[in-house]
């Protein structure tokens, strides 16, 4: 009898150590960590702060935001990839960590597809196409025509090699059939004075930082990079209206480590969709230049595959590096 009890106890201990033994009470019964792989006060961190409170309320537990910056988001993402798949460590990832980064750096410490479970596509941040007020083009069609007639004479600014700003411009060049010279800056804010003066011909900047210059009359906006017009700038056409299929967003998504149980995946996804539907969350995200998205894990996975393939093609064809 004692031997039988020892065997049972050993078996239960083994189950607990492998995570098979159910935890006491339904998930979640303790605080959930939301890892942000970027510094505090950045766009991803601000998004996490907006989302975390409502998401915690919908889950029925507190969500603790932890910043784990470094190596372009790689350090924090890798921490989640290696965390227990129990739903208590989640990741707020972006295109730079899971679709652009892996194509620029094949030596990343994690596999962006195999080591994570996509939970929910929570937001998109489109860019705005800005040109100087003295540009001869008043519309997107006029600008493309002008660029085609002046190959190699126009330039574009970016926030650095391999950034979403450069990739957006290169995607635009490919679809519009224009040749522009790349001028990298250490951030788009540093490029604005040269854009205003006309030394730079075009910049694809984020909506929150670019739109105020348009409203102040310092720059002209020709379009947005979202697939459709955005409520954040309803008067601006989507570039896709002239270049079908054109789309470039910084996306934000919730992930868990591989092996995340299906019931926990479903619960977090449902809570995320409910949080994104809250009016105050929509309002706060809009001020950050982010459109709430939502949807199923399957829809998120499908989007990821398309985004990964798009940037892989552009990076390879244009020989883009992060250096």
The CATH number for 237's domain is 3.40.190.10
pLDDT of 24 reads 58
Give domain status of residue 43, yes or no.
Answer: yes
Domain identity same for 259 and 120: yes
Is residue 1 assigned to a domain? no
In a domain, 9, yes or no: no
Considering the domain architecture, whether residues 139 and 229 belong to the same structural domain is answered as yes
pLDDT given for residue 229 in this prediction? 97
Residues 172 and 190 grouped into a single domain? yes
- 74: domain CATH number is 3.40.190.150
Domain contains 281: yes
Residues 135 and 185 in one domain: yes
Report yes or no on 185 lying in a domain. Answer: yes
177 and 120 housed in the same domain: no
β-bridge pairing 63-67 and 116-132: unpaired
13 in any annotated domain: no
**130 shares a domain with 120:** no
Last residue within a domain, chosen from 241, 262, 283: 241
Handedness of CA 242, 163, 257, 277 (dihedral sign): negative
The answer to whether residues 257 and 295 belong to one domain is: yes
- Which residues of the chain are modeled with pLDDT < 50? 1-23
Pair (291, 156) in one structural domain: no
Handedness of CA 304, 305, 308, 314 (dihedral sign): negative
Range(s) of the domain holding residue 147: 126-241
**174 part of a folded domain:** yes
Q: Are residues 253 and 117 in the same domain?
A: yes
The residue among 310, 307, 126, 95 whose CA lies nearest residue 224 is: 126
User: What pLDDT was estimated at residue 18?
Assistant: 39
Same domain for 148 and 231, yes or no, is yes
Q: For residue 54, which phi and psi values (nearest 5 degrees)?
A: -70, -40
Asked whether residue 206 falls in the same domain as residue 62, the answer is no
Q: Which of 206, 223, 241 is the last residue of a domain?
A: 241
Distance from C-alpha of 224 to C-alpha of 67, rounded to nearest angstrom: 30
Same domain assignment for residues 165 and 113: no
**Per the domain annotation, does 219 fall within a domain?**
yes
Distance from C-alpha of 183 to C-alpha of 1, rounded to nearest angstrom: 78
Whole-prediction pTM: 0.90
End-of-domain residue from the set 190, 218, 241: 241
Long-range CB pairs of 42-48 (<8 Å, 24+ gap) are: 43/125, 43/206, 43/250, 43/288, 43/289, 43/290, 44/73, 44/92, 44/94, 44/252, 46/288, 47/92, 47/122, 47/123, 47/252, 47/285, 47/288, 47/290, 48/92
- What total number of domains does the chain contain? 2
């Amino acid at each position: 009898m004692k031997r039988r009890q020892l065997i049972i106890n050993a078996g239960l201990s083994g189950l607990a150590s492998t995570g098979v033994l159910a935890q006491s009470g339904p998930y979640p019964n303790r605080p959930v960590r939301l890892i942000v792989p970027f510094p505090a006060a950045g766009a991803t961190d601000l998004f996490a702060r907006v989302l975390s409170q409502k998401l915690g309320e919908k889950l029925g537990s507190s969500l603790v935001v932890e910043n784990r910056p470094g190596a372009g988001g790689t350090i924090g993402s890798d921490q989640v990839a290696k965390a227990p798949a129990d739903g208590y460590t989640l990741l707020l990832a972006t295109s730079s960590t899971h679709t652009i980064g892996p194509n620029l750096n094949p030596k990343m410490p994690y596999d962006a597809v195999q080591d994570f479970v996509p939970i929910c596509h929570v937001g998109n941040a489109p860019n705005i196409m800005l040109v100087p007020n003295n540009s001869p083009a008043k519309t997107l069609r006029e600008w493309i025509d002008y660029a085609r007639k002046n190959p190699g004479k126009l330039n574009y600014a970016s926030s650095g090699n391999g950034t979403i700003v450069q990739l957006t411009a290169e995607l635009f060049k490919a679809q519009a059939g224009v040749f522009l010279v790349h001028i990298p800056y250490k951030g788009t804010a540093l490029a604005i004075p040269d854009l205003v003066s006309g030394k730079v011909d075009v910049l694809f900047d984020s909506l929150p930082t670019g739109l105020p210059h348009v409203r102040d009359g310092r720059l002209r906006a020709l379009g947005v990079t979202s697939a459709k017009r955005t409520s954040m700038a309803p008067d601006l056409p989507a570039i896709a209206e002239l270049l079908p299929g054109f789309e470039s967003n910084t996306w934000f998504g919730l992930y868990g480590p591989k092996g995340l149980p299906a019931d926990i995946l479903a619960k977090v996804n449902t809570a995320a969709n409910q949080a994104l539907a809250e009016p105050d969350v929509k309002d706060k995200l809009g001020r950050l230049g982010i459109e709430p998205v939502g949807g199923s894990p399957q829809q998120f996975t499908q989007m990821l595959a398309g985004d990964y393939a798009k940037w892989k093609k552009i990076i390879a064809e244009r020989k883009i590096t992060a250096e």
